[in-house]
Amino acid sequence: MTRAVRPAASAAATRATPGAPRAFPVEVEHGTVTATEYPARAAHRPVATLILAHGAGAGQQSPFVTRFAAGFAARGLTVVTFNFPYTEAHRRMPDRPAALEACVRAVVAAVADRAGTGARLFAGGKSMGGRIVSQVAAADGRSSPLAGLVFLGYPLHPPGRPATLRDAHLPAITVPMLFTQGSRDPFGTPAEIDAVCRRLGPRATPHIVDGGDHSFVVPRRWRLTQDAVEASVQEVVVDWIGRVVKRRARRS
């Protein structure tokens, strides 16, 4: 698989390596968390920033998050990852929803401040991270600075419990949403995700990763390599963001 990219060890190291990930602190309630910016490295794509939240079981330096952040940056997105407070404190149990949501709001505000006026901000994440971002977007409505949401494996329900849905808040989201979901994902089947997207209407776009599980991992003897599968997902996300940016530009 693609080698994970780690944040620069120091400010001097970051300055010495143009385009390298840059770590910076974000103030949250009761302390700070670490965020990491992956600068865009492809000038031919539309300029946008994607804030990417990690899943419940691993922080922003997990192989999945670092691979996808680096892949998106290589395709023209500036990407910002971050730790939730429990991950920053090296705890295993996720924080309460209110604390997770407050962290997302703090990171979005910090990134918006760094990006400046007119920035095209998108957010999302892997599994739980994407769900928390969606809850914030639903609660904040049109006051949110986000232009769209990207879900990398949306946890529609716990595995084996399809009746315990986590979609009640989604209709309140006012911006476009992209649901990238593995065809073998036990947290939400293609049929279930398609049904959610149909209920949400044109704001929601499903993309099913053939053969992928909750982390888009395909069987060992699949027709495509794991690298190719992940690259395809990254292309889909970047192309979708580009289309959203163009639509917003035409409307303005």
Q: Map out the domains of the chain as residue ranges.
A: 19-251
Under 8 Å CB-to-CB from 208, ≥6 apart: which residues?
181, 182, 183, 190, 193
Place of tokens 């409307």: 251
Grade residue 9 by pLDDT with cuts at 50, 70 and 90.
very low
Q: pTM of the predicted model, to two decimals? A: 0.90
The answer, yes or no, to whether residue 77 has pLDDT greater than 50, is yes
> Does domain 19-251 match CATH 3.40.50.1820?
yes
The answer, yes or no, to whether residue 119 has pLDDT greater than 90, is no
Cα–Cα distance for residue pair 53/65, rounded to 1 Å:
8
- Report percent pLDDT > 70 for the chain: 90
Strands 121-126 and 146-152 come out as: parallel
Grade residue 31 by pLDDT with cuts at 50, 70 and 90.
very high
Is residue 209 within 8 Å of 179, Cβ to Cβ? Answer: no
- Phi, psi (degrees; rounded to nearest 5) at 124: 170, -150
The answer, yes or no, to whether residue 18 has pLDDT greater than 90, is no
Grade residue 45 by pLDDT with cuts at 50, 70 and 90.
low
